[in-house]
Amino acid sequence: QVQLVESGGGLVQAGGSLRLSCVVSGNIFSINFGGWYRQAPGKQRELVATITSGISTNYADSVKGRFTISRDNAKNTVYLQMNSLKPEDTAVYYCNVRLVRPDLIPGTYWGQGTQVTVSS
């Protein structure tokens, strides 16, 4: 079994910062891809940022220059540093990983989500 546990969400004023963490545990051989998505009320889930095993990163235009995705392979953890937060960043943030299990079977897994609320 693979588990993703997210943390770091909360309530912050506009202009503030939060750091989200996603710890991956269980039967893992390698994590090939990590990403953060978000879903605001009444909206579809959207990509925020991704990072590959080669540490190549990609960001949604709306967060470029404000958010930074990173990973710690030793800790099987993916982070999202969010600075200069805006009210429109308010959403439930979900961690997503694509990994290979010890039996070499790949899989995609989602976290349970963590609420980020930015007040104006």
Question: pLDDT by residue (tens digit) across 46-57?
Answer: 999 999 987 799
Which pLDDT value is given to residue 61?
A: 98
Which pLDDT value is given to residue 20?
A: 98
Tokens (6 digits) for 5: 């546990």
CA 50 – CA 43 distance, rounded (Å): 20
Q: Please provide the distance, in angstroms rounded to a whole number, between the alpha carbons at the two ends of the chain.
A: 41
CA 100 – CA 92 distance, rounded (Å): 26
Q: What's the pLDDT tens digit per position in 67-117?
A: 999 999 999 999 999 999 999 999 999 999 999 989 888 899 999 999 999
Helix spans in the chain (H)? none
pLDDT surpasses 90 at 27? no
Which pLDDT value is given to residue 41?
A: 92
CA 31 – CA 78 distance, rounded (Å): 10
